[in-house]
Structure 1
């Protein structure tokens, strides 16, 4: 019965999305119908309380601030300066400036801790520049969609905090555990760009004139404003002086100051940047509200709990259990955001996971990797929606461009399973 309910709701969601209904409204509609047909809960009160609660969180304030910071960088010379500083170093690599997607997302992931903020901010900076320089849209968008997920894995990560609380494990050790897999995943993405570029040399714009080491170092002066801004935000977070939300506000102030110093800030650009950030955040906020209400509906119906209990009763071997959990969490990603997946399932799954002999720190990183995969899996791949809001292309097209990155994430999951020290080595150093 649960399988039939889940299938019916997936078909309904796909139908609404195919009909052109806004993504957030489609999620709300599916939740409304699911709760009304399959539960006895008061739908109206539940919807109002959930939507208000999901959109009025103080922690969520960091997201629009980081989006605004990205809009300021996008409208100033700072984004162009970032390319000028990185280009001499990346121009000899196969794929050239496509690597800025991965490098930029890796750096910004350490600032925001949010996949949506990372994807939207870096996308605003890199996609127009790459298009202007003649790089193909599909590889530029696909690598952004994949690299944007690093916001979940590289600390600070909100989903790791939620898992740490739910599983009663050290959040500091979880953060350390995410560093090496996060950098490894970034290298895998860059490796994919290299392979793609070697197989499609005619699609990569010609390299600029060769420059000496001294010229490269001199060109790096263009990175000083961006690096200073990153240091301001990261320094605020890791020194304990500022919370992520306060650090995001510092980032906005720093971006405005830098734009003013370089002479690219005026009233029109200030207003346009603020309006654009509000527009993108309203799109993301409506999706968040719809996802929160759908999560509540799924919880009342009992689908995540029943599925988790079913997995626990199968008594599978560790490798088979790991593969089934990958499928399970990606399927849940059709309905739920990553944090909701952890909250609704972890208490039920932990006894099974511990009985199979999985280290709980390793399992936390495993969950984050699988949730990253769900971020670029339709129909409810959150990064796909964020990029759709930036470029106005079909979600299915964006998903196709991101498929190779999805497969690389699956390879990373298998690699961490067979070589768990990739995850556990750095936390082990802390323990010692």
Structure 2
């Protein structure tokens, strides 16, 4: 059978299996085993365990559970509430400052936790009721938190970037740095839209928060600054040549646990066990998907599907930006149905040779891909962040949350366009800190 036709069958079978409700990792293994058995013979199935565990034989993978423990330790405390309150006190005089402070809190908390759902839950529990109480429309209150939560997969340290780095064998350090400026850009676009919508509503003065003294503003800082110091310290250790990403992640996880215990009195063995248990569950899920995606990639390669698709697209006489637009559309659609980790592990090995042949930088592409995944987090039918917000505020209809998040989707599209026009937004900082890429 022609490899391209076979590739179409694999795509249809994968979609059908995943829509059956089976887990992503199990679905990938079922599809891989089925096509290897039919087209490569039963003898090839014996290689699947070796490929699966070989994909997990990577020292960089140790950073994933460590960064997840960091996020879980932070999420289990009042750090999100304190961060939100600190920004509210400092941004009180800005018209519409409450929604701006919520977005700022989402950006900082996502940098500390690396988790979009955790960011939505931690900031939304405080921010949404407060914004509604002060007269913000439900769509603005819910949509801003849903969008702000997506920043967790872009701003470092990002587990999504680690997964991309492992899947494509690119530098995790460069990927982290590549997400910094685009992350700041997205935060700025979100805040600008929020300020504009507040001004346009004519309620700028009404929507100001309360007045706080300088003493009230300063007294909240000691509860927040230690966590921020850990993030800065982790990044400094990584880029200062002091330690590898895995080593810095381990130290960061330990420090986050200690700070949670000291500042927030999380001394209970049950609370610590909960953090470690939840972190283990999430880590195993991600590692299981990584192993299964390795088997899936092996199947595509052994049946010459990956090579044929890359050659076919390479032979297309289309402008490379038209090709990138098609890739973005593909990523956007898949992001509607699958979690970011699954999309990256399934698509990156196929897309990497295509984008490099077209002359695109894989580090730059990682940022574009991640922003597409952010859009998927606030888009139906999956739209995980939409359901998290709906769980926090069940009296706000899902349609209202979606409509409130749409302007922020537009901001993400603008960010992708700006990255296409100015690739240096993603590449300048990695090249500055780590030198030009080889």
Give CA deviations for 1:168-210 in whole Å, capped at 9, x if unaligned.
xx998887665433322332244455567678999xx976422
Structure 1 residues 280 and 90, CA, compared in 2 at 3 Å: closer, same or farther?
A: farther
**TM-score, length-scaled by structure 1:** 0.73
- What is the alpha-carbon distance in structure 2 between the residues aligned to residue 346 and residue 279 of structure 1? 30
Output aligned runs, 1:274-423, within 5 Å: 274-327=276-329, 337-338=343-344, 341-347=347-353, 349-353=355-359, 361=361, 364-374=363-373, 377=376, 407-420=410-423, 422-423=425-426
In 2: Cα distance, 1:37 partner to 1:89 partner: 63
Alpha-carbon contact 2:83-2:109 (below 8 Å) kept: no
Residues 97, 67 of structure 1: CA spacing in aligned structure 2 closer, same or farther, 3 A cutoff? same
TM-aligned CA deviation for residue 288 of structure 1? 2.6
Aligned match of 1:80: 81
Q: Give 1:21 deviation, angstroms.
A: 1.9
When the two structures are aligned, how many residues end up with a matched partner?
408
Aligned-pair distance for 1:228?
Answer: 2.6
Which stretch of the first structure deviates more once superposed, 328-337 or 256-265?
328-337
Q: Equivalents in 2 of 1:101, 1:27: separation in Å?
A: 37
Q: What is the CA–CA distance in structure 2 between the aligned matches of 1:416 and 1:330, rounded to whole Å?
A: 16
**For the Cα contact (< 8 Å) 1:180–1:423, is it kept in 2?**
yes
- Superposition pairs for residues 46-195 of structure 1, below 5 Å? 46-90=47-91, 92=94, 93=97, 95-100=99-104, 102-104=106-108, 107-108=111-112, 117-119=114-116, 122=119, 125-130=122-127, 139=143, 142-144=146-148, 146-151=150-155, 158=162, 179-194=180-195
How far 1:154 sits from its partner (Å)? Answer: 8.3
Cα pair distance change 1:275/1:317, threshold 3 Å = closer
Structure 2 CA distance, aligned partners of 1:123 and 1:43? 44
CA–CA separation in structure 2 for the residues paired with 1:61 and 1:211: 44
Identify if the C-alpha distance between structure 1 residues 386 and 32 changes in structure 2 by more than 3 Å, giving closer, same or farther. Answer: farther
2 CA distance for matches of 1:72 and 1:387? 24
Q: Is the 8 A contact 1:101 1:147 kept in 2?
A: no
Distance 1:421 1:65 in 2: 30
Q: Secondary structure at the match of 1:34?
A: helix
1:356 corresponds to: none
Contact 2:83 2:105 in 1 (8 A): no
Which structure 2 segments of 5+ residues have no match?
133-137, 393-397
Distance 1:28 1:132, change over 3 A: farther
Q: Distance in 2 between matches of 1:2 and 1:145?
A: 40
Change (3 A) 1:400 1:6: farther
Q: TM-score by structure 2 length?
A: 0.72
The separation in 1 between residues aligned to 2:201 and 2:47, in whole angstroms, is 52
Contact 1:77 1:259 in 2 (8 A): no
Q: CA deviation at 1:269?
A: 0.8
Aligned 8 A contact 1:225 1:258 in 2? yes
1:302–1:101 distance in 2 versus 1, CA, 3 Å: farther
Report the alpha carbon displacement of residue 300 of structure 1 after superposing the two structures with TM. 2.4
Distance 2:30 2:199 in 1: 46
RMSD: 4.6
